Amino acid sequence: MVIRSAMNNLNVNVDKTKKTKVDPNEPSVINGTKMIIRLRKLRNDRDLSQHQLAVLCDMTVPNLQKYEYGKMKSIPFVTLERLCNVLNCKPGDLIDMNS
């Protein structure tokens, strides 16, 4: 109860209108490198939700989102293999170099 009243006393301005929309067909740049990942496009082409793909790949939705939004630093081969098997693609279809 004390925490809730303390939180109510905070004067925090949050602008919820500044959400950036993500183009589902745009590849994500991986952590500022020249590597790009096309996971979102491949997933959308196969009419899979993030949740469905996460379940099929035996991973959590937040982890899948990190890959999809290019927020990860690396991708284990086992994860790459699972994604490729489920999406019926090759690693080169999923990951590419940004020229």
> Which H helix or E strand runs over 44?
helix 39-45
Residue among 65, 54, 96, 91 at smallest CA distance from 76: 91
Query: Which of 53, 41, 98, 52 has the alpha carbon at shortest distance from 79?
Result: 53
The DSSP-derived string for 50-91 is: HHHHHHHTT--HHHHHHHHTT--S---HHHHHHHHHHHT--H
**Which of the following CATH numbers is that of domain 27-97: 1.20.120.530, 1.10.260.40, 3.90.1170.50, 3.90.180.10?**
1.10.260.40
Contact 79, 94 (CB under 8 A): no
| The predicted structure's pLDDT at residue 12 | 35
Given a cut of 80, is residue 47 above it in pLDDT? Answer: yes
Mean pLDDT (the chain) is: 77
Summarised one tens digit per residue, pLDDT across range 70-98 is: 888 888 999 999 999 999 999 999 988 87
Q: What is the mean pLDDT of residues 4-32?
A: 47
Name the residue ranges covered by the structural domains of the chain. Answer: 27-97
